Amino acid sequence: MLRRGWLAAAKKSVPAKKKQPSVEAILGNVFEEVLKARDRGETLSEEDVQRRAYEQTHEAVMGKKAFTADEKWRQSLPREPIRDLRRLVPLTLLDDDPFPVHARAPMPGPAAPAAAVVGRFIDAVDELAHWEAQLYEYLRGHPVAMRRALPLLMEHYTVLAHRLKDAMLHFGAARDAVGACDAVKMPQALYSQAEAFALLPRDAIVETGKSLSGTFDPVRFAKAKTGRIMKLSDGDWRSWKGERRAEQRALTEAFASLADGTREV
């Protein structure tokens, strides 16, 4: 009897496991915070919204706090690029931006139609994929030693890195808008699929920043993702790009199915 009483007391003393909130609930709360902030006259940038959503979702899913604005990939970004670089040096080899930031429409809110929020995310995926590819082309065409020695190449990377940063923040904000949309129920697996797609460009910024600020050479490290990309032959590089485009299509098709209701959740 004493042992049974002790077991019963022990069970009562153990707090019930807290139910993990859904991704939809977390992102919905973030957008509610944003709307309330705007009602108070506060101005929140797209980066602020993306950061809040990332931190809250990461903590709920992973059980621990995420890196904040000082997370590793952002710490690895170079300083801001020189303004009007193309006027100073016209032949920078930088393509015209097919996804101009100034042309973006406001991010759809929770009450927006599913097609609107999903379409915005697909546009963000295309933007991220474009600038990710631009970075890899730059890395493959300019060895680390050359990038360290030539200021113009360093400036070229600075422009690419910050444009890729903008694309990643847009990607995150658009994904979170899908999760917060009243007309869409986004499965956790799909959120994770989107997060996994963005890991490679984040790692590329970290590795490239490390290579430019020290003696680290990605080509000499087997685990370096950018090093493997830089060492690919032209034929293998074309194959790798095809595989990456297949990942991009799989992601966009999965999100598109949310809008047309064909995905089981």
pLDDT in tens, 26-48: 778 888 888 887 777 776 667 67
In a domain, 75, yes or no: no
In a domain, 211, yes or no: yes
CA-based radius of gyration for the chain: 22
In a domain, 137, yes or no: yes
Indicate the angle between helix axes 46-62 and 23-39, nearest 10 degrees: 150
What pLDDT does 204 receive?
Answer: 93
In the structure, what pLDDT confidence band is assigned to residue 95 with cuts at 50, 70 and 90?
low
Nearest to 76 by CA among 169, 170, 214, 172: 214
What pLDDT does 86 receive?
Answer: 59
The domain that holds 228 is classified in CATH as 1.20.120
In a domain, 189, yes or no: yes
Q: Which of 44-48, 128-132, 195-199 has the lowest mean pLDDT?
A: 44-48
In a domain, 88, yes or no: no
In a domain, 173, yes or no: yes
CB atoms within 10 A of CB 238: 10
Domain count, the chain: 1
Angle among Cα 241, 200, 153 to the nearest 5 degrees reads 80
pLDDT at position 13 over 50: no
In a domain, 145, yes or no: yes
In a domain, 160, yes or no: yes
| pTM (2 d.p.) | 0.72
Higher pLDDT, 250 or 45: 250
What residues make up the domain containing 189?
Answer: 119-260
Share of the chain above pLDDT 70, in %: 77
> How far apart, in whole angstroms, are the C-alpha atoms of residue 131 and residue 165?
9
